[in-house]
Structure 1
Amino acid sequence: MIKIDKLSKFYGKKQVLNSIDLEFGKGKIYGIVGENGAGKTTLFRCISGLENYKGTISSEYTKLKDHLGLLLTEPFLFPKITGEEYIQLLTNARQKKLVNIEDRNIFDLPLKKYASTYSTGMKKKLALTAILLQENNVFILDEPFNGVDIQSNLVITEIIKRLKKLEKTVIISSHIFSTLAETCDEIYLMKNGEIIRKVTQIDFDNLENEMKEFTIRNQIDKLDLK
């Protein structure tokens, strides 16, 4: 389990996260939704140990970051490293032996080519493959479906479901609500650096309708289309 108590984050005088309390258990999938700038990525970076923060993040692991795979919206890739070398680098970091890489290349990536030449979707699939082969216990996936083709999105959805069966903890942000509704056990609505609502599966449809009403219809009404 991961427990977050009174988590706050400031960039200078600007407060980005405001006293967040959350718990994430094994074998469950959690969705985090909210408008751009709500604080989702900053929350993920704090959990992953990439940011300093106020409050506490505790887990059963001595060092959570050593058991956590983070998929960023735009994964960082060194300019002169092949796809295969990138995967090797990340698996070495977890002391995992990499075998039969071609057989495990489920997204059919050109692993012998420089990863910097990959498209946005290919980079994301490469980074996802790498953290999966690390055999992590916790996965944080920041917009895993954006920029990825439909077939690969179906594969990613099934991967997430498999991780649940393997008793992993999975935390996802996505603007594609249908993918969250299909995979998540709970969804948290985030606004202005705060968790303002927790929704379980029975109320997913209501949450989606509310989000459409407030974030889509109201914005379109401002255009006063005629």
Structure 2
Amino acid sequence: MIKIENLSKSYGDKQVLNTIDLKFKKGKVYGIVGENGAGKTTLFRCISGLENYKGNISYDSNNLKDHLGLLLTEPFFFSKITGKEYIQLLANSRQIKLSNIEDKNIFDLPLKQYASTYSTGMKKKLALTAILLQKNDVFILDEPFNGVDIQSNLIITDIIKKLKELQKTVIISSHIFSTLADTCDEIFLMKNGEIVKKVEQIDFNKLESEMKEFSIENRIDKLELK
């Protein structure tokens, strides 16, 4: 289990996260939703150890970073590394021996091509493949469906369901609410760096309606369209 207590993060005078308390259990899929700037990515970066923060993040094992696969919204790739070399690099970082990488290329990526030349969706699929092959216990997926084709979205959804079956901990952010409703056990709503609501599956439709009313209908009314 991952336990987050009084997590806060500031950049200068700007408070990005404010006293967040969360628990993430094994075998569960959690969604984090909120408008741009709500603090979702910063929260993920803190959990992953990429940011300094105030508060406490604990994990059943000693070092969460050694068990965590992070999929960033825009994964970074060295300019002269092929898709196959990237997968091998991430496997080496976990001391995982891989054979027949081509057979594990479920997204049919051009693995001999430089990853930096991939499209946005291809980069995301490559990064996801690499962290899956690391055999991690925790997965943080920041907008995994964004910029990815429909067929791949279906595959990613099934991957998340399989990770849950394998008792992994999965934390996802997405602007596509339906993808979260299909996979998540609980969804947390973030606003201005705080968790303002926790919703379980039975109330997902209600949360979606509330979000639409708040973020869409009221804004459109301000245009006074006629």
- TM-score (structure 1 length as normaliser): 0.99
Gaps of 5+ in 2: none
Tell me the amino acid that sits aligned with residue 177 of structure 2: F
- Superposed, 1:29-48 pairs within 5 Å as 29-48=29-48
| Higher alpha-carbon deviation: 211-220 or 33-42 | 211-220
Asked if 1:198 is matched to 2:213, the reply is no
Deviations 1:11-30 (A, max 9, x none): 01111000000000000000
Hey, what's the Cα distance between the residues in 2 that align with 1:140 and 1:219?
31
Q: Displacement of 1:127 after TM fit? A: 0.2
Q: Displacement of 1:69 after TM fit? A: 0.2
Q: Displacement of 1:99 after TM fit? A: 1.0
Tell me the amino acid that sits aligned with residue 51 of structure 2: E
Q: 1:146 maps to which residue?
A: 146
Q: 2:83 maps to which residue?
A: 83
> 3-state SS of the aligned residue for 1:84?
helix
Hey, what's the Cα distance between the residues in 2 that align with 1:112 and 1:83?
6
Q: 2:165 maps to which residue?
A: 165
> 3-state SS of the aligned residue for 2:103?
coil
Tell me the amino acid that sits aligned with residue 171 of structure 1: I
Could you tell me the percent identity over the aligned residues?
81
Q: Displacement of 1:62 after TM fit? A: 1.1
Computed over aligned residues only, the root mean square deviation of the Cα atoms, in angstroms, reads 0.5
> 3-state SS of the aligned residue for 1:103?
helix
Hey, what's the Cα distance between the residues in 2 that align with 1:39 and 1:53?
13
Deviations 1:54-86 (A, max 9, x none): 000001111101100000000011111000000
- Superposed, 1:180-199 pairs within 5 Å as 180-199=180-199
Hey, what's the Cα distance between the residues in 2 that align with 1:78 and 1:219?
41
- Superposed, 1:1-226 pairs within 5 Å as 1-226=1-226
Hey, what's the Cα distance between the residues in 2 that align with 1:216 and 1:90?
40
| Higher alpha-carbon deviation: 93-102 or 138-147 | 93-102
| Number of positions where the alignment pairs a residue of Structure 1 with one of Structure 2 | 226
Gaps of 5+ in 1: none
Hey, what's the Cα distance between the residues in 2 that align with 1:173 and 1:150?
18
Hey, what's the Cα distance between the residues in 1 that align with 2:98 and 2:113?
18
Hey, what's the Cα distance between the residues in 1 that align with 2:225 and 2:81?
49
Hey, what's the Cα distance between the residues in 2 that align with 1:155 and 1:111?
19
Q: Displacement of 1:141 after TM fit? A: 0.2
Hey, what's the Cα distance between the residues in 1 that align with 2:3 and 2:221?
41
